[in-house]
Copies of this chain bind each other. A is one copy, B any other.
Amino acid sequence: MTDIDVSSSSPTERLHALGLELPAVRESTKYENHRTLDSSVYVAGQLPYSDGRLLGKGVLGRNVGLETGRGLARHAALNALAVAADAVGGLDRVRIVQMLVFVASTPEFGDQSKVADAASALLVDLLGENGRHARTAIGVSSLPLNSPVEIQMVCTSRTEA
């Protein structure tokens, strides 16, 4: 959580106040970044890329620390937000419904929720009530390109002002 006034600023203004920008969306030739059905926008699993570079590799509990994992979760969430913004016509129109957070983990690691909390906090900091989501965090053996974190979302276009 931050000191930013959620009630009187827009998500885009809060993004900039945090010193962040929506990253460019990475396109795949094999699948779509998002598909819409009824009001649901399904956002494909996003990795912590930044400027075309995967920001980390490895497994929590082995060679990736908790704070590093939390930072990577924020980056993956930011990429998912960029896709969502693309899908619904801008960040200010995004409402998050559900988030699935996959954390590459050793069998002994049990802090997946703390990793996911960093992504959840970013969504709420930026989107306020529209960022509040149902969430599931799990530990997996490994992820594409040995990314420590991957995030999938279901979102929608907000209807209120």
Which residues in A have some Cβ–Cβ distance to B below 8 Å?
30-35, 37-40, 42-45, 57, 59, 61-62, 97-100, 102, 104-113, 116-117, 120-121, 132-147, 150, 152, 154, 156
Also in contact, A112 and B144, with CB within 8 A (given A31-B133, A35-B132, A37-B156): yes
The answer to whether A112 touches B44, judged by C-beta atoms less than 8 angstroms apart, is no
A121–B28 CA distance with the chains assembled, in angstroms: 12
Taking the full assembly, how many copies of this chain does it contain? 3
Residues of B within 8 A of A143 (CB): 110, 112, 138-139
Select one of B39, B43, B110, B140 contacting A144, CB under 8 A. B110
Could you show 18 A-B contacts with beta carbons less than 8 Å apart?
A: A31-B99, A31-B120, A31-B135, A45-B135, A45-B137, A62-B107, A100-B136, A100-B152, A104-B141, A105-B141, A107-B142, A108-B142, A113-B144, A137-B144, A139-B140, A139-B142, A140-B140, A141-B141
